[in-house]
């Protein structure tokens, strides 16, 4: 599998390009900004985007989605729990001091346990509410990789003080769903460096409950 992770926008959201080496089809996760850069990565690997998957409705993750859709024709998918976040994009833009993007229109919903595909790539949706109600992770079982959005970071977890956030829910999502994955799973958080489930299980101060 081709997997490029690179930070986009002023908040340095990790955007992922996942590509099938055989069919040259791709899933782009969290194209928050810098769509020219995303398109250059796609071009470099000669990939065609089949799905634009959004881990949650914060502007730094979804801000460039409509631009990417206009350039590629691929559908935008997100969990319905974050529909209310889309109504707040202008307010979110003001918080971080960027221009408000054009309104985002979803083409489909990321349902819990659904599988999204591009060529031979398979990503399973794990709904992990807490950072926002619709926050979702994408798990690639063949690669043992988790794209975690802002649910889990190396050494920390997502903030829950923004609208729609819940500390109890994120802790429940992490213990009941994320920590259910094997230790060797590589975690690509929404911001910052990669980690593994085993590393976080051992040393993340939020996850050391016995
Ligand atoms: Zn967020």
Q: How confident is the model over 137-174, as pLDDT tens digits? A: 999 999 999 999 999 999 999 999 999 999 999 999 99
- Ligand 1 centroid vs 166 CA: distance in angstroms? 13
The low-confidence residues of the chain, meaning pLDDT below 70, are 210
Q: What is the pLDDT of residue 102?
A: 86
C-alpha 162 – ligand 1 centre gap (Å):
9
Cα-based angle 79, 45, 107 (whole degrees, multiple of 5): 25
Buried b vs exposed e over 98-128: b needs ≥16 C-beta within 10 Å?
beebeebebeeebeeebebebbebebebbbb
pLDDT of residue 101: 86
Going from the Cα of 43 to the center of ligand 1, the distance in angstroms, rounded, reads 28
Distance 210 CA to ligand 1 centre (A): 28
The DSSP H or E segment spanning 105 is none
Q: Can you give the three-state secondary structure of 177-192, one letter per residue?
A: HHCCCCCCCEEEECCC
The rounded Å distance from CA 22 to ligand 1 centre is 33
Q: So what's the pLDDT on residue 210? A: 57
The pLDDT, as a whole number, for residue 97 is 87
User: What is the DSSP-derived secondary structure letter of residue 104?
Assistant: P
The pLDDT value given to residue 183: 98
Sorted by sequence, the CB contacts under 8 Å of residue 203 that are 6+ apart come out as 155
DSSP 3-state of 197: helix
């Amino acid at each position: 599998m081709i997997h490029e992770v690179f930070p986009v926008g002023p908040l340095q959201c990790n955007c992922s390009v996942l590509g099938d080496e055989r069919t040259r089809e791709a899933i782009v996760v969290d194209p928050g900004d810098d769509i020219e850069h995303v398109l250059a990565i796609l071009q470099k690997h000669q990939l065609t985007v089949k799905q634009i998957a959004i881990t949650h409705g914060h502007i730094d993750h979804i801000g460039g989605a409509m631009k990417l859709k206009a350039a590629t024709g691929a559908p935008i998918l997100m969990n319905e729990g974050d529909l209310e976040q889309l109504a707040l994009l202008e307010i979110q833009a003001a918080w971080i001091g960027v221009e408000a993007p054009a309104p985002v229109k979803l083409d489909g919903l990321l349902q819990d346990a659904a599988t999204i595909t591009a060529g031979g790539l398979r990503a399973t949706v794990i709904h992990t509410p807490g950072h926002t109600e619709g926050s979702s992770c994408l798990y690639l079982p063949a690669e043992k990789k988790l794209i975690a959005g802002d649910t889990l970071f190396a050494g920390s977890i997502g903030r829950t003080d923004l609208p729609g956030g819940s500390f109890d829910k994120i802790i429940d999502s992490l213990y009941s769903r994320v920590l259910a994955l094997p230790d060797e799973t590589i975690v690509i958080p929404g911001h910052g460096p990669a980690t593994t489930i085993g590393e976080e299980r051992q040393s993340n101060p939020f996850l050391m409950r016995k």
